[in-house]
Structure 1
Amino acid sequence: MPSALIIGIAGQDGSYLAELLLEKDYRVVGAVAQGESESLDNLGTARDRVEIVVTDLTDKGNLLEVMGGYRPDEAYNFASQSHLNTSLDEPVVTGDVSGLGVTRLLEAIRRASPATRFFQACSSEIFGRHPKEVPQTEDTPFLPWNAYAAAKLYAHGIVGAYRRSYGLFACSAILYNHESPRRRPEFVTRKVARGAAMIRLGLARELRLGNLEARRDWGFAGDFVRGMWLMLQHPEPDDFVLATGKTHSVRDLCETAFSCVGLDYRDHVVADPDDFRPSESASLVGNPAKARRLLGWEPEVSFRELVEMMVKADLESLRNAR
């Protein structure tokens, strides 16, 4: 039975990956930060089939102990400060966890479990506000614009350094926005899905958002974790862009979400300048051709199917809570 360690299993990606690996008969060990072991709702019924261990990416001794104790065939790292506003408020913590934490993790693998295949979740934010080319590929120049992106670029670079210097099977995915009903409420896709559901149920009258013209390359998290797994099955370690290659605006998102509940978004959505995101990226859209060619990976869930899935889940959740 193959084994996998998922660092950050409590989050959206970690929980979808756990379900995928359990379907493939893996032994799954989920690593969580201190205090997170009680917050595993995303795992649902899979919780009883997952072993949980507490890890700290700022503690190299802890990481050595975990890696040496489990020696997993595969390790996936999702632990990060992923919300931009929080990373701007806490840039030192962001760098320590999202950047240096990856170095500590790789060093633990090198010393205690060198046969482990390692996956690192990086971000399209490393291309900056004004990417040098559109769409972006694995070879597009990097130009991070904030602490989160800079930390992710460091992580991306250190993965390649350990691969080249020590021969580790270490891969980094440049991930574009990927969403699901498990996305945290502060992200715009979930704000819109939940907002549409609340207004449909009479629990709210309006939804205040930032820039409705901002565009994103949005895909389904379940599709993306399949791509992550495929990266570690490939004969050679490498880095890949995982993206849909298509963009939609926040306005498109609102129109689709509200149409799912029979409403016109124009009657309920208010653009609030106070909610405009700092360091807005203008043209982030990925080219997943390499992943398609070498991994056989293709996104399967369309934008509309994704939004409908999220709105339906929030409607059900809100109705059950009444």
Structure 2
Amino acid sequence: MKKALITGIGGQDGSILAELLLQKGYEVYGIIKREAIENPNLKLKNIASIVNEVELIPMSVTDPMAVYKAIKKIHPDEIYHLAASSFVSYEFEDEVAMMNSNFNSTYYLLSSILEINKDCKFFFAGSSEMFGEPFESPQSENSKFNPKSMYGIAKVSSYYLLKNFRDKKGLYTCTGIMYNHESPRRKSEFVTKKIIETAVRIKLGRAKELVLGNLDAVRDWGYAPDYMNAALLIMSQPKPDDYIIATGHLHSVKQFAETAFSLLDLKVDDYIKINTKYFRASENYPLCGNPEKLKGLGWSTSKSFTEIIKMMIEEELTNQTN
């Protein structure tokens, strides 16, 4: 039986991946923050249905000795490094913590498997933020990186770290450069979840308006389980490589809101308010991924833009009415 270790198992992606790996007969281990154990109803909500089927390891991926000990004890066949701090801040202390969380953790994991088990395969969750201010659209695996936040910089740094361990040290390392991807498990701080939650509250008479920033901002939105299936497909290849994981289709924030409200028989224009403090600088070229290389492995998407939003609406209605 193969063993898989997932960092960030309690998040949207980690929980979905854990379910997929269990279905494939893997023995699954998951690294979680210690505070998740203290507040399991909130922090472990996504893995509640499988919590007895996986082994959870409460620790920080920024603790090199803890990382080393965990890998030595488990001796995993595959590691999926999904844990990341995604809060964008320009305060010095926050940026130091961001680099520690998103880059140093990657180094600790890679250096540990290099010493303990060189045959262990490694998947790293990259981000469209690695392109930041793109020079072209859509972006492919050959597009030039141009990150504009410490989050993006940390992801690019980790990408090159994986490449070095692959090319110079012979490890099986892959980066999946993942564009925006949604599911009912999306956290509330994301604009998509904010739209869904507020739309449902308005439908239930519990809210009167939805406050957003730039409605014309566009993103490449996909379905999270499709992206985790992509990670598994990438890791099943004979040779390690890096791939864009995206749909190749753009939609605006307004389109997302319009679709969500229309599914609830509401008109978004009756409730929407604009606050410029939520505006982010728009890119000259939009963040849109070209997934052709991944499609060459047989990958495809299973849910449309509208279907994804419908699933999120239905889940949110259930949560708010129970």
TM-score, normalisation: structure 1 = 0.96
Unmatched 5+ residue regions in structure 2?
A: none
CA offsets 1:44-102 (integer angstroms, 9 cap, x no match): 31111111112322221111111111111111011111233488871110011101211
- Name 2:183's counterpart in structure 1: 180
> Which stretch of the first structure deviates more once superposed, 76-85 or 6-15?
76-85
1:170 aligns with 2:173: yes
Q: List aligned pairs for 1:61-72, cutoff 5 A.
A: 61-72=65-76
Residue 262 of structure 2 aligns with which residue?
259
Match of 2:156 among 146, 153, 156: 153
- Paired residue total: 318
**CA 1:242–1:144 in 2, change beyond 3 Å: closer, same or farther?**
same
Q: What residue is the counterpart of 2:192 in the other structure?
A: 189
Distance 1:85 1:309, change over 3 A: farther
Deviates more, 1:275-284 or 1:135-144: 275-284
Q: Identify if the C-alpha distance between structure 1 residues 310 and 304 changes in structure 2 by more than 3 Å, giving closer, same or farther.
A: same
**Percent of pairs with identical residues:** 40
Code of the residue aligned with 1:160 in structure 2: it is K
Residues 31 and 57 in structure 2, CA contact (< 8 A), matched pair in contact too: yes
Q: How does 1:37-52 map to 2 (within 5 A)?
A: 37=37, 38=40, 39-52=43-56
Report the TM-score when normalising by structure 2: 0.96
State the Cα distance separating 1:281 from its structure 2 match. 7.6
Q: Which amino acid aligns with 2:209?
A: E
Distance (whole Å) between structure 2 residues aligned to residue 86 and residue 227 of structure 1: 32
Q: Which amino acid aligns with 1:260?
A: L
1:315 corresponds to: 317
The residue number in structure 1 matching 2:127 is 123
Change (3 A) 1:75 1:87: farther
| Contact persistence 1:146–1:279 (CA under 8 A) | no
Given candidates 55, 58, 65, the residue that maps to 2:59 is 55
Cα 1:285–1:89 shift into 2, 3 Å: farther
- Match for 2:251: what amino acid? H
1:116-174, Cα deviation, whole Å (9 max, x unpaired): 11000011111122x11110001100111111100010011101110011100110111
Instruction: Please state if 1:33 is matched with 2:29.
Output: no
For the aligned residue pairs, the C-alpha RMSD in angstroms reads: 1.5
**In the alignment, is the contact (CA less than 8 A) between 1:119 and 1:170 conserved in 2?**
yes
Question: Do 2:217 and 2:282's aligned partners in 1 also have CA atoms closer than 8 Å?
Answer: no
Return the offset for 1:217: 0.2
The answer (yes or no) to whether the contact 2:89–2:95 under 8 Å persists in 1 is: no
Question: Is the 1:162–1:168 Cα contact (8 Å) retained in structure 2?
Answer: yes
| 2:246 equivalent to 1:243 | yes
Alpha-carbon distance in 2 for matches of 1:55, 1:87: 26
Amino acid at match of 1:217: D
1:41-120 mapped onto 2 (5 Å cutoff): 41-85=45-89, 90-120=94-124
How much has 1:216 moved relative to structure 2? 0.3
Separation in structure 2 between the aligned mates of residue 182 and residue 86 of structure 1, nearest angstrom: 28
Decide whether the 8 Å contact of 1:87 with 1:147 is kept in 2: no
Q: Give how far 1:279 is off.
A: 6.9
Alignment check: 8 A CA contact 2:3 2:27 kept? yes
Letter in 1 for 2:10: A
